[in-house]
Amino acid sequence: MTQPLKAKLVAMLELVYPELDCDFLSEQLLTTMGLEPDQAPPPAHQNNWDESDVVLITYADTVQRADEKPLQTLHRFLGDCLSDSVSSVHILPFFPYSSDDGFSVMDYLAVNESHGNWEDIERIARDYKLMADLVINHMSARSRWFENFRKRIDPGKDYFFEGNPRDDLSAVVRPRTSPLLTPVQTDDGERYVWCTFSEDQVDLNFANPKVLIEFTAIIRHYLERGIIMFRLDAVAFLWKEPGTPCIHLQQTHELIKILRLLIEHHSPDAVVITETNVPNRENLTYFGNANEAHEIYNFSLPPLLINTLVTGDCKHLKTWLMSMPPAQMGTTYLNFIASHDGIGMRPTDGLLTEEEKQRLINTMDSFGGKVSYRRTPDGRDQPYEINIALYDALQGTAESGRDHWQLQRFVCAHTVMLALEGIPAFYIHSLLATENDHERVKHTGRLRSINRSQWQLDELEQKLADPLSHHSKAFRELKRLIAIRRKQPAFHPNATQFTLHLGLQLFGFWRQSMRRDQSIFCIHNISNEVQQVALSDINLIGTDQWQDLISGMTIDDLSGSITLKPYQSVWLSNLDVTV
């Protein structure tokens, strides 16, 4: 018999707040979310996605037009250019903010007036599955809550996590080199607040259940505005205990489960996504037992795939892929190879050697990239991420430098991503093949700005209409590949996947639809040399007809071979399924 919602919630809350009256707290949360104590759960292991799902990641103001709010311009661009290509749109923080391009939120319940308003958000949500950031770990030092913290009044007085400089904080895992504790003058004296990311981003105190109630109300507001995908930003750092690493603590996992329970009972089609830029084994824990995140970002994919393409060697990518467990039904991977942030280096821990990491960093540096650092518990500064536009990251090889295969290498990277188990997510600047924006870095003084350009819509439309522009070539080819992918049952995010062993210059894997009526052999030449693929090595079934979905080439002789040009990919499919 299914456990009633309230009883399940109380059991979860007691693991986080053992000293509190969790029966009363559960009633507060259910009332805040508008739920009944005995409300029926959604179907277990339900996939709220299929092979047609493709995500676009963008800032609200990446595409701009004179005399029009950016959210309206974004909606126009989506409708004109991407309505047949993407099913979901992740609009990065569109709230009033004080720093970090939106991730230092001043008001969770307002839309930044310079971007538009809630009606603009709702219009986009009617046409696409809309993902929004729940910036849950920290809030702006210029927010009303933090001003109230300084004044020692509610709401806000006890909403932020305080530390003591005398505490042993040596084990705390840091993503930055800035001081962890920031002194703040309040109306009752100096206090030290915990700042995982910057002094303008003050960590919230979830040990105070009022903060959990506040975020439950925020989530309900988003759901009522049409947002059904929740990206839990920097959630790994949520719970703090001095003397511990203050990352991945069990209370953090339990809080994610609590939020998922509330969200999916309110809206069964809603999805929780955890953003945890950490080593691969740690990242996988956020699936829980199919009761935590519905989706996790596949953070090891970007550095491993880029390393593969600039070295012409897929050994590490193949080893990693073989180690990845199939996601349970009701969960899946969110695959991406570029984002508004840099290429994370922590997800390569245990996957690349220190020498290989340094070679990748040196190669990206030669292509115009920059490196951001983090402070380790022993006080050393270690590379945290490489800041570079994906198109420029793939302009050559580690051995020979820049070459003429940039566009082909760039398309190959996305062809791999589109075919892998999981849901593909395109950062808008990768879809548009935007280059490094060094001028924006000079203007903002922030390395991440190198991959956060802004386009004027008129200029962008001209670039995309010019058949000789690399922007147009990349955009048209990626849209073509997306259109193919969205029709293949074997590319369902939860369809079977097995790794193929075809040497170091050919990266391959096999996908099979859940009904077992379609197989696709995905083979990618990740080198700058021509490669031969013996068809006998991939065991095509002789009674089926086979065709490359990308080129349209049919396979007539299964004892023969196919030739792949540098960075060429093939998706060999049987013809039982209409393409």
Residue 179 and residue 316 in one domain? no
Contact 570, 562 (CB under 8 A): yes
CA distance 524 to 391: 18
DSSP secondary structure string for all residues of 291-315: TS-SEEE-TTHHHHHHHHHHHT--H
Residue 268 and residue 225 in one domain? yes
- Between strands 546-548 and 569-574, the pairing is antiparallel
Q: Is 471 annotated as a binding residue?
A: no
Residue 318 and residue 440 in one domain? yes
Place of tokens 């806000």: 156
CA 119-296-196 angle, 5° bins? 80
- Between strands 201-203 and 138-140, the pairing is antiparallel
Active site residues: 233
Tell me, yes or no, whether 67 lies in a domain.
yes
Residue 358 and residue 430 in one domain? yes
Longest dimension (CA), the chain: 82
pLDDT along the chain (579 residues), means of 10: 87 98 98 96 94 98 97 98 98 97 97 98 98 98 98 97 94 92 97 97 98 98 98 98 96 98 97 96 96 97 98 98 97 97 94 96 97 85 94 97 98 98 98 97 95 97 97 98 98 98 97 96 98 91 91 91 97 72
CA distance 362 to 397: 11
Contact 513, 492 (CB under 8 A): yes
Residue 480 and residue 516 in one domain? no
Residue 239 and residue 326 in one domain? yes
Quote the DSSP letter at residue 536: G
- Between strands 129-134 and 227-232, the pairing is parallel
Alpha-helical (H) ranges within 240-381 are 250-266, 280-284, 301-311, 315-323, 354-366
Q: Is 50 annotated as a binding residue?
A: no
Q: Is 38 annotated as a binding residue?
A: no
Tell me, yes or no, whether 366 lies in a domain.
yes
Q: Distances in Å between the alpha carbon of 138 and those of 187, 215, 295?
A: 22, 12, 22
Q: Is 340 annotated as a binding residue?
A: yes
What torsion do the CA atoms of 405, 409, 412, 417 make, to the nearest 10 degrees?
-170
Contact 512, 490 (CB under 8 A): yes
Task: Give burial (CB, 10 Å; 0-12/13-18/19+) of 419.
Answer: buried
* Half-sphere exposure of residue 51: CA atoms within 13 angstroms, side-chain side: 21
Residue 327 and residue 244 in one domain? yes
User: 509: domain range?
Assistant: 496-574
Instruction: Tell me the three state secondary structure of residue 223.
Output: helix
Nearest to 77 by CA among 546, 351, 537, 459: 459
CA distance 362 to 384: 14
Tell me, yes or no, whether 25 lies in a domain.
no
Place of tokens 């903002």: 444
Residue 430 and residue 481 in one domain? yes
Residue 274 and residue 172 in one domain? no
Residue 408 and residue 424 in one domain? yes
Q: Is 123 annotated as a binding residue?
A: no
CATH code for position 186: 3.90.400.10
> Number of folded domains in the chain?
3
Q: Of 178, 203, 228, which marks where a domain is finished? A: 203
Q: Is 233 annotated as a binding residue?
A: yes
Residue 577 confidence (pLDDT): 53
Tell me, yes or no, whether 481 lies in a domain.
yes
The residue type of 276 is: T
Tell me, yes or no, whether 9 lies in a domain.
no
Phi then psi for residue 477, to 5 deg, are: -70, -40
Count of beta carbons in the 10 Å neighbourhood of residue 61: 22
Residue 515 and residue 428 in one domain? no
CA 175-180-184 angle, 5° bins? 140
Nearest to 422 by CA among 327, 530, 553: 327
Judge if the upstream peptide bond of residue 43 is cis by omega within 30 degrees of 0.
Answer: no
Tell me, yes or no, whether 515 lies in a domain.
yes
Alpha-helical (H) ranges within 367-469 are 390-393, 406-419, 428-431, 438-444, 457-465
What torsion do the CA atoms of 568, 569, 575, 577 make, to the nearest 10 degrees?
-130
Residue 578 confidence (pLDDT): 47
CA distance 274 to 515: 29
Q: Is 221 annotated as a binding residue?
A: no
Instruction: Tell me the three state secondary structure of residue 148.
Output: helix
CATH code for position 562: 2.60.40.1180
CA distance 431 to 273: 22
Nearest to 252 by CA among 241, 240, 262, 238: 238
CA distance 35 to 536: 58
Q: Of 469, 491, 513, which marks where a domain is finished? A: 491
- Between strands 519-525 and 401-402, the pairing is unpaired
CATH code for position 375: 3.20.20.80
Q: Of 150, 172, 203, which marks where a domain is finished? A: 203
Residue 444 and residue 509 in one domain? no
Tell me, yes or no, whether 417 lies in a domain.
yes
Contact 435, 389 (CB under 8 A): yes
Q: Is 61 annotated as a binding residue?
A: no
Return the CA Rg of the chain: 24
Tell me, yes or no, whether 242 lies in a domain.
yes
Structure tokens at 553: 């080439």
